[in-house]
């Protein structure tokens, strides 16, 4: 049996915007890489196509390539903004060869389940939750009613198997990085987030214990699980030896929540003198001086921190348990230890006002942040706040636009998309033109030469974007 996994790209952006996005950062589809590794270990012929790498290829060409491989099962992952692109592929495939079984997985369909099967007939199955072993059982042709997390049609009725049992993460084989076309060099780490090249992503934990209003936890649930430090270290070593990886991006939502795990991993990296650097996400409030020292000694280069807002009332409503004082305290600790800090912000929350946006901008400019990521608040279908979102402002529910770059939600207190877009541009311009950044740019010439190479190689595209920020 042959299985093909496909990662569609969202298509709300125009081609030039997509190209710029891909020049700045392209992340590998790690969920598909895990699924592929499990199936391959059981003897199945597996391939991965990633449309985010080759944005110039249209869906007709992808359909041709899929049919040339002639899979028995086509597995498509879907975030909200890419769902319709993936579904267009599914429709074309079913029209050409109906015997190919089409399976959708990922966060969007893990929310939608029966809704997806009812409204989108070209999809044969939905896997809600973690897909590795449910895909394996489907490939083995086990009874549908016994496959965990599987939603399927039985005549005109939609049925499903048992609820998903979460897997033991250390029993998973390493992701099939070798099936990712052009890995590692085709994939791009975020600019100025790494010293050495090439880099790779690792996801070493799953789930979240927090209750943020905007977060959809349909796939991994409310708990928190993780790979052992030993497993994670061996994966780092595997990437180093087999692919020449010199920088790791730990793409965990809660990397530092289990302190003992992270401390042990840092000790393994330091003790074995594995010549890598890495980034991770630090949950503010879950860090101490000793752990920061261990991270630094093990090669940590930069940490990402979720700040979201500089208005305490907005934080209280949408990101409980975090205070502005905690943010300032922990960022100072990280910076004093010699780590770069990247702040993650969100704009356009329900209840957001022009005053709260200004507070966030002022707060961001007061912090010693090396970089920032500013996203548009997006009420994804499975997020807790989405059930009442129409009461809180104007909401454009077109899934295609829900990519965290479009302002699909306009708070009542703001009143217009134009205001949000104005402040978004002002935020970015103010952040990167502050005096503090001049020192950062100078240091980056020596510390991140490959990022400068990428910018100079694509100077026209980046220059055009910079020019657009300065337009009124």
SS (H, E, C) the chain: CEEEEEECCCCCCCHHHHHHHHHHCECCCHHHHHHHHHHHHCCCEEEEEECCCCCCCCHHHHHHHHHHHCCCEEEEECCHHHHHHHHHHHHHHHHHCCCCEEEEECHHHHHHCHHHHHHCCCCCEEECCCCHHHHHHHHCCCCHHHCCCEEEEECCEEEECCCCCCCCHHHCCCCCHHHCCCCCCCCECCCCCCCCCCEEEECCEEECCCCCCCCCCCCCCCCEEECCHHHHHHHHHHHHHHHCCCEEEECCCCCCCCHHHHHHHHHHHHHCCCCCEEEEEECCCCCCHHHHHHHHHHCEEEEEEEEECCCHHHHHHHCCCCCHHHHHHHHHHHHHCCCEEEEEEEECCCCCCHHHHHHHHHHHHHCCCCEEEEEECCCCCCCHHHHHHHHCEEECCCHHHCCCCCCCEEECCCCCHHHHHHHHHHHHHHHHCCHHHHHHHHHHHHHCHHHHHHHHHCHHHHHHHHHHHHCC
pLDDT at residue 283 above 70? yes
Question: What is the spatial distance between Cα 27 and Cα 77, in angstroms, rounded to a whole number?
Answer: 14
Q: Residue 197: what pLDDT? A: 95
| Among the ranges given (164-178, 180-194, 432-446, 456-470), the one the predictor scored with the smallest mean pLDDT | 456-470
pLDDT at residue 290 above 70? yes
Q: Residue 18: what pLDDT? A: 63
Neighbours of 39 (CB within 10 A): 26
pLDDT in tens, 165-190: 888 999 999 999 999 999 999 999 99
Can you name the residues that pair with 5 across neighbouring β-strands?
A: 48, 75
Structure tokens at 272: 């074995």
pLDDT in tens, 204-234: 999 877 778 888 766 766 778 999 999 999 9
More confidently predicted of 52 and 223: 52
Band (321; pLDDT cuts 50, 70, 90): confident
What's the mean pLDDT in 452-472?
A: 78
Q: Residue 390: what pLDDT? A: 93
Question: What is the spatial distance between Cα 305 and Cα 267, in angstroms, rounded to a whole number?
Answer: 23
pLDDT in tens, 325-346: 999 999 999 999 999 999 999 9
Pick the CATH number of 190-470 from 3.40.190.10, 1.20.140.10, 3.80.30.20, 2.130.10.10: 3.80.30.20
Q: Residue 157: what pLDDT? A: 96
What's the mean pLDDT in 399-412?
A: 94
More confidently predicted of 31 and 463: 31
Q: Residue 136: what pLDDT? A: 98
Q: Residue 19: what pLDDT? A: 66
Q: What is the mean pLDDT of the chain?
A: 92
CATH class of 2-160: alpha beta
Report percent pLDDT > 90 for the chain. 79
pLDDT at residue 301 above 90? yes
Residues of the chain with CATH 3.80.30.20: 190-470
Structure tokens at 124: 């044969």
What's the mean pLDDT in 439-466?
A: 86
Question: What is the spatial distance between Cα 378 and Cα 395, in angstroms, rounded to a whole number?
Answer: 9
Band (377; pLDDT cuts 50, 70, 90): very high
Helix axes 259-271, 229-243, angle to 10 degrees: 40
Q: Residue 460: what pLDDT? A: 80
Residues of the chain with CATH 3.40.50.2300: 2-160
pLDDT at residue 464 above 90? no
Q: Residue 169: what pLDDT? A: 95
Band (471; pLDDT cuts 50, 70, 90): low
Question: What is the spatial distance between Cα 97 and Cα 91, in angstroms, rounded to a whole number?
Answer: 10
């Amino acid at each position: 049996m042959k299985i093909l996994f496909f990662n569609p790209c969202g298509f709300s952006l125009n081609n030039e915007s997509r190209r710029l996005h891909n020049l700045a950062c392209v992340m590998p589809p790690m969920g598909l890489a895990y699924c592929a590794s499990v199936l391959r270990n059981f003897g199945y012929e597996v391939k991965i196509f990633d449309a985010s790498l080759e944005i110039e290829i249209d869906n007709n060409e992808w359909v041709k390539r899929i049919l040339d491989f002639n899979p028995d099962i086509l597995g498509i992952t879907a975030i909200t903004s890419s769902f319709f692109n993936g579904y267009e592929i599914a429709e074309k495939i079913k029209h050409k060869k109906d015997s190919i079984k089409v399976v959708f997985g990922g966060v969007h369909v893990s929310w939608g389940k029966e809704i997806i099967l009812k409204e989108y007939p070209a999809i044969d199955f939905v896997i809600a939750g973690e897909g590795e072993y449910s895909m394996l059982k489907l490939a083995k042709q086990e009874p549908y009613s016994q496959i965990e997390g599987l939603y399927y049609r039985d005549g005109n009725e939609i049925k499903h198997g048992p609820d998903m049992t979460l897997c033991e993460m250390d029993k998973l084989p390493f992701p099939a990085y070798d099936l990712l076309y052009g890995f590692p060099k085709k994939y791009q780490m975020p600019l100025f987030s790494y010293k050495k090249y090439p880099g790779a992503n690792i996801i070493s934990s799953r789930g979240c214990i927090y209750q943020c209003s905007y977060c959809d936890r349909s796939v991994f649930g409310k708990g928190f699980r993780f790979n052992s430090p030993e497993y994670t270290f061996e994966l780092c070593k595997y990437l180093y030896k087999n692919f020449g990886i010199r920088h790791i991006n730990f793409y965990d939502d809660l990397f530092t929540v289990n302190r003992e795990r992270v401390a042990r991993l840092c000790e393994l990296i330091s003790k074995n003198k594995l010549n890598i650097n890495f980034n991770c996400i630090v949950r503010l409030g879950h860090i101490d001086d000793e752990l920061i020292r261990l991270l630094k000694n093990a090669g940590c280069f930069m940490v990402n921190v979720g700040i979201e807002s500089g208005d305490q009332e907005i934080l209280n409503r949408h990101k409980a348990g975090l205070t502005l004082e905690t943010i300032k305290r922990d960022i100072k600790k990280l910076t004093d230890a010699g780590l770069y800090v990247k702040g993650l912000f969100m704009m356009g929350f329900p209840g957001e006002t022009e005053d709260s946006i200004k507070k966030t901008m002022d707060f961001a400019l007061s912090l010693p942040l090396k970089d920032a990521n500013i996203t548009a608040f997006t009420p994804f279908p499975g997020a807790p706040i989405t059930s009442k979102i129409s009461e809180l402002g104007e909401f454009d529910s077109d899934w295609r636009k829900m990519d965290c770059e479009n302002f699909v939600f306009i708070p009542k207190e703001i009143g217009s998309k134009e205001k949000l877009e104005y402040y978004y541009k002002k935020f970015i311009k103010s952040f990167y033109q502050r005096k503090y950044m001049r020192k950062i740019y100078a240091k980056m010439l020596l510390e991140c030469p490959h990022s400068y190479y990428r910018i100079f190689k694509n100077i026209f595209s980046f220059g055009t974007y910079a020019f657009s920020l300065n337009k009124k």
